[in-house]
A = this chain, B = another copy of it.
């Protein structure tokens, strides 16, 4: 079984297998330290935090951990809770569930709890995982909502501030499953210096400390790289007008494929 480092960031496209092979959640568990893991589960994106918190609690408990706890923040004041903060000091990993990414950011952005998590992730001390809404918040810019079935246009996507764990990316989840290519392109038109990461369901973009991402799971991870974009009409047209974007580079990556974030180059699973 492949070994991953303990200071990874796992960005999951939603609807990950929770019943059978649990490949992605197993990978998170291993990055969290396996039987030595101490996992903090943050269910705050969900309007049913008890149910979803308990679900992940029982999944990770089944795998075998040293300790685990749901940090059930339902009010910003709980982001200053001493007990929760102490737990974050001892934990080896934090997992953020699905729900509504605006709710998650609204409750936790800039709280002492989230600031400390961010710091520990940045220092490479803990592993971080997020699925669906918990994935959407990973970048500095966040897709808060949007639509499909239209030519790319700025009105197709609602942007907000994310939690900024990996500032240079803009994440979209349930990606091909919900036909979100046009909305991610629309998001990028405004921020071409960022990298668009579209993650399919039951699929994970695993960011490793050596500046790579690796694909785990059943679907694809789509990378949209606009660094060489030669033209966009983005600033010149109304929000509903179709967007021109010339010279994008796109990579569709499958299980085991890697992407070098510094060199902006993918390598195939077979060559890794």
**Which residues 150-179 of A sit at the B interface, judged by CB distance below 8 A?**
150-152, 176-179
Q: Mark A236-247, 1 if CB is under 8 A from B, else 0.
A: 000001111111
Contact of A200 among B151, B200, B254 (CB under 8 A): B151
Query: CB-CB < 8 A to A179: which residues of B?
Result: 148-149, 179, 181-182
Query: CB-CB < 8 A to A269: which residues of B?
Result: 233, 244
Q: Tell me the number of copies of this protein.
A: 2
* Minimum CB–CB distance for A179 against chain B, Å: 3
**Which residues 230-272 of A sit at the B interface, judged by CB distance below 8 A?**
230-231, 233, 241-255, 257, 266, 268-269
Contact of A268 among B220, B244, B252 (CB under 8 A): B244
Contact of A220 among B148, B151, B253 (CB under 8 A): B151
Q: Is A11 an interface residue (CB 8 A)?
A: no
Q: Is A212 an interface residue (CB 8 A)?
A: no
Are the CB atoms of B266 and A247 closer together than 8 Å?
A: yes
User: Quick one: given A149-B176, A182-B181, are A242 and B218 in contact (CB under 8 Å)?
Assistant: yes
Query: CB-CB < 8 A to A49: which residues of B?
Result: none
A268 to B241, CA, bound (A): 15
Are the CB atoms of B218 and A268 closer together than 8 Å?
A: no
Are the CB atoms of B242 and A251 closer together than 8 Å?
A: no
* Minimum CB–CB distance for A272 against chain B, Å: 12
Contact of A254 among B243, B266, B268 (CB under 8 A): B243
**A250 to chain B: closest residue by CB:** B248
Are the CB atoms of A251 and B243 closer together than 8 Å?
A: no
Q: Is A93 an interface residue (CB 8 A)?
A: no
* Minimum CB–CB distance for A214 against chain B, Å: 13
Q: Is A79 an interface residue (CB 8 A)?
A: no
A101 to B83, CA, bound (A): 65
Q: Which residues of A contact B (CB under 8 A)?
A: 148-152, 176-179, 181-182, 185, 200, 203, 218-220, 230-231, 233, 241-255, 257, 266, 268-269
10 tightest A-B CB contacts, nearest first: A179-B179, A244-B254, A151-B219, A245-B252, A181-B181, A151-B220, A246-B266, A231-B268, A248-B250, A220-B242
